[in-house]
Amino acid sequence: MARAMRLLVFAFCLLGSYSVLGKPTVRRGKGRAVPGRYMVKLKEGCEVERTARSMNSHFNPNPNSKAREKSPVKGTNVANPPGWADDRDQGPGKSENARVRFAFRKVFHGISLEHVSEKSLEWTLTNDCVEYVEEVGVMTAVQSVGTDPSPVTMAANNYINWGLDRITEDVYDKPYSFDPAGNGTGISIYIVDSGVRRSHLEFGGRAFYLNVFDNPAELGDDNGHGTQTAGIAIGAWRGTARAADVISVKVLNDIGEGSSDDLLEALIAILTDEPEGGAVVSMSLASTVDYGYIHDALIDLQEAGFVLVAAAGNEYSDACFHFPAGYSEVISVGAINAKGNLASFSNHGPCVDLYAPGANIYTATNEGDDQVKKMKGTSFAAPFVSGAAAILLSEGVPPGDVKSTLIDDSTKSVTINTLPSDSYNRILYVEPKS
């Protein structure tokens, strides 16, 4: 009897997302989910676009209605998407608002749905093409630590970024200087974040945006986080790769939140963008959930020649449990302060590849074309590495060698104080002009 029970439990494990009757069930995520939003994995042999059209026809009983396959809503709190409270059922499994949000054409063989009622979800699970259904999760910016500082007006040589001096010195006893051997010419850095204030003086016409969602909100940055990370990556006075471009990929709203399906769509858009020259994907966002489709997209980007960089996180915990920083394909970046200590908030552990300045860093902000702020967090350590990666690419280092080159070149002779024993003592180093 005991053996039979063990076999039954084993069978349930094998079935995974299926019930004993073969009907797909819903995979509930461990993190915070977006209400009414689901990823739907389709079986092989089922065409994505045809299935999407069929589902939209079912969810929209009005023959004159034009349900869209893409209908992202930006700049709103994803915890309460517009229309969610008005989901009105029109019979078994039918809802006026339920619809296909994305029909993915790469990476994930499936679709995402939004504004889904319980009846709509039940109907979806009866569709013969559905392999499994999974909740869409919330992605968040690795936000600045502490209170939001007031912006200050910049000039060419005020409010300097101490971190630039630190990364070009392996001995920390010289006057401030930053004169790197390279400048990132011809390289694009995709800032996957809250948008970028492209008109900021720090960018000097080198900031662009990728139109992923056909939404006017993609043109700006209502939060500031994306502009701040971009300023550290390429800013003319406070940035690392001062001749590189940034391409804004807006996936976070005005409170620094987004969703895993939006992130997947954005990563696919980057994959198909085919920039001239080399490219870096800089991600100062995170989730504690390992979404397989996000990992698959990053693997595809790496194989296509993109260098991937991510903030390790600000929880003072093991970065291996924060994603995308926990993936081996990514250069995961923790933070040090000006005293050379591990920043009190920085994640650490064996998944962190490098440490870079991340406390009291002056950078561009979204509150004016000449405004800067003093920021704190691993979000602001990661773009130092993104800029350094762009410099290496501009010097001809192959994309597949950038991570190992940065690790090999890193400063190891200076001890990072308070660094846990399971972490690598590696501080970002950018070669200065001789």
Under the banding of pLDDT at 50, 70 and 90, the label for residue 274 is: confident
Which residues are part of the catalytic machinery? 193, 225, 379
Residues 398, 306: contact at Cβ < 8 Å?
A: no
pLDDT at 64: 54
Least confidently predicted of 22-26, 152-156, 159-163: 22-26
Least confidently predicted of 11-25, 26-40, 285-299, 305-319: 11-25
Residues 307, 402: contact at Cβ < 8 Å?
A: yes
pLDDT at 84: 21
pLDDT digits (tens, 9 = 90+) for 213-235: 998 889 999 999 999 999 999 99
Q: What is the mean pLDDT of residues 36-61?
A: 94
- CA–CA gap between residue 250 and residue 233 (Å, rounded): 16
| Residues sharing a CB contact under 8 Å with residue 421, sequence separation 6 or more, in sequence order | none
pLDDT at 4: 41
pLDDT at 62: 65
Whether 81 shows a pLDDT value over 70: the answer reads: no
Two tokens, residue 122:
């039940």
Q: What is the mean pLDDT of residues 277-283?
A: 95
DSSP SS3 for 268: helix
DSSP SS3 for 271: helix
